[in-house]
Amino acid sequence: MKPLFIFSILVLTSLGMVNAQTERADTSAIQKVLSAQQEAWNRGDIDGFMNGYAKSSSTTFVSEDEVTRGWETVRNRYRNAYSDRSQMGKLTFFDLDITSLGQDSALVTGGWRLEREKDAPHGRFTLLFRLTDAGWKIVHDHTSAAPQLQHKKGLFSN
């Protein structure tokens, strides 16, 4: 009985170590996707930014009171909303928290900020990532913007 018990403990311990290593690798891969998105945005490359999303008709983007479905439709939404570099500004992601939901999915929460000439919009997001044949990709994005504060002089502040 004793050898079987020891064997069981060794197997469970090694499985736990493998799971922890896998979660670290997944977290690192997801962080790389977000970093690549930030870099693409800051180059003015919306298509490069969209590489972080699953190229699927079921990819979903939710913001304010609007739901956009489909990779192509989401890309068009970004292109329309950010039609030139001045509107895009410089993007920074912060406060990232990545939680594994199993072997093939993860939930990511964080903040975003755009630095532009006349304002600095910012907000929060919740992303659902799935491990696809093309790697970790966003399949659902719920992004919100914080209200812009305007001072008496008309300057924006956050």
Please state the domain extents for the chain.
2-157
Q: Write down the pLDDT at residue 148.
A: 78
pLDDT band for position 21 (cuts 50, 70, 90): very low
Average per-residue pLDDT for the chain: 87
Query: How far does Cα 147 stand from its chain's mean position?
Result: 21
How large is the average pLDDT for residues 107-125?
96
Q: What is the pLDDT of residues 46-93, one digit of tens each?
A: 999 999 999 999 999 999 999 999 999 999 999 999 999 999 999 999
**Amino acid identity for residue 84 in this structure:** D
Rounded mean pLDDT of 93-108?
Answer: 96
Coil/strand/helix, residue 63: strand
Distance in angstroms (rounded) separating the CA atoms of residues 131 and 143: 21
34 Cβ contact list (under 8 Å, min separation 6):
52, 93, 96, 108, 110
Tell me the C-alpha to C-alpha distance, in Å, between residue 72 and each of 48, 59, 77, 109, 125.
Answer: 13, 9, 9, 24, 20
pLDDT at 18: 46
- Strand 60-63 and strand 135-145: the pairing is parallel
Q: Taking residues 115-143, report their average pLDDT.
A: 97
**Alpha-carbon span 30 to 34, nearest angstrom:** 6
Level-2 CATH architecture, domain 2-157: Roll (3.10)
Distance CA 134, CA 126 (A): 21
For the ranges 22-36, 52-66, 140-154, the lowest mean pLDDT is seen at 140-154
Q: Is the pTM of this model over 0.75?
A: yes
Alpha-carbon span 33 to 96, nearest angstrom:
12
